[in-house]
Amino acid sequence: MAGKLFIVGFGPGDKKHMTLRCLEAIEQSDVIVGYELYVDLIREMLENKEVYTTQMQEEIDRVKTAIQKALEGHAVSLVSSGDSGVYGMAGLVFEVLSEMRAQGLPVDIEVEVIPGVTAATAVAALLGAPLMHDFATISLSDLLTPWPVILKRIEAAAAADFVIVIYNPKSSRRVTQVVEARDVILKYRHKSTPVGIVRKAYREGQEVIVTDLEHMLNHKIDMLTTIVVGNSSTFVFNGRMVTPRGYSGKYELLKNDRVGEETIV
């Protein structure tokens, strides 16, 4: 009898930010499959479970292992950090299952995609409220997407005045893309535009920096970093990034209220 495959997004990595359904799925699973770095983040939860890990760029093998174990009758959690449907494993699972069906192979397993807190919203909470209006998420990883296509998307988002959330900004071999991305954005944004840089969100060694486009490259940026570039309305209040939703343009925020003043009775 075929088993079940949970595609689990467990958020930033600490248990406090995992959903109840995520915790249930991991508890119910007897097999766990994932990228080694991500599995290590939840290792303490995996006692008495069969665990399979792979390295970077071995995603297809990871998915095949998870599917095979589910076909053998196991309850399997294929784990991703963040949200499994945002640069995660969910799409690849369905691609592989679709190809298997086209080749006449068995695909009789139940699949449940479990959402998690993605990096964009995790770092936004640490930075303040930078995503209160329209925003775009763009990965600078050109492993699967040609760099000219990524640049075109950055330019379109910058020209449209979206807040831009940058995933995978830099790696050991990919060091110039974040510089090029900033140069494109500077064509449409003032150099003083607020920028948030967060490393290791909600993990040990977390770093949260609010800077601007002019100075963003002065800070440490790597694959554990997510960058948020504000739009033309974004401002900094008490060290936090804020992108207005538009209320002040339509309503008087305080009217005649004397907010903050002591009421004398």
Q: Does the CA dihedral 10-15-21-24 come out positive or negative?
A: positive
Helices 177-185, 147-159: crossing angle, 10 deg rounding:
30
Do 110 and 18 belong to one domain? yes
HEC secondary structure over 22-44: HHHHHHHCCEEEEEHHHHHHCHH
Residue 164, both tokens = 């831009």
Question: What is the pLDDT confidence band of residue 260, given thresholds at 50, 70 and 90?
Answer: low
Do 98 and 141 belong to one domain? no
Question: What integer pLDDT is reported at residue 249 of this predicted model?
Answer: 74
How many whole angstroms separate alpha carbon 32 and alpha carbon 75? 9
In a domain, 260, yes or no: no
Do 40 and 87 belong to one domain? yes
DSSP H helical ranges for 46-176: 59-71, 90-102, 119-127, 147-159
% of the chain surpassing 70 pLDDT: 95
How many whole angstroms separate alpha carbon 158 and alpha carbon 140? 15
Task: Provide the domain limits for residue 183.
Answer: 120-249
Do 178 and 237 belong to one domain? yes
How many whole angstroms separate alpha carbon 260 and alpha carbon 119? 35
Do 61 and 30 belong to one domain? yes
CATH number at residue 194: 3.30.950.10
Do 126 and 89 belong to one domain? no
pLDDT, one tens digit per residue, over 102-139 is 999 999 999 999 999 999 999 999 999 999 999 999 99
Question: What integer pLDDT is reported at residue 261 of this predicted model?
Answer: 62
- Is the pLDDT at 76 greater than 70? The verdict is yes
Do 135 and 240 belong to one domain? yes
Do 66 and 125 belong to one domain? no
Do 148 and 202 belong to one domain? yes
How many whole angstroms separate alpha carbon 112 and alpha carbon 118? 18
Residue 12, both tokens = 């930033």
Question: What is the pLDDT confidence band of residue 265, given thresholds at 50, 70 and 90?
Answer: very low
Do 111 and 175 belong to one domain? no
Give residue for tokens 């944004």. Answer: 189
Which pTM value belongs to this model?
0.91
pLDDT, one tens digit per residue, over 245-255 is 976 777 788 87
Question: What integer pLDDT is reported at residue 258 of this predicted model?
Answer: 62
Structural domain count of the chain: 2
**238 Cβ contact list (under 8 Å, min separation 6):** none
Q: Which of 88, 117, 146 is a domain's end point?
A: 117
How far from chain centre, in Å, is Cα 157?
18
pLDDT, one tens digit per residue, over 8-56 is 999 998 899 999 999 999 999 999 999 999 999 999 999 999 999 998 8
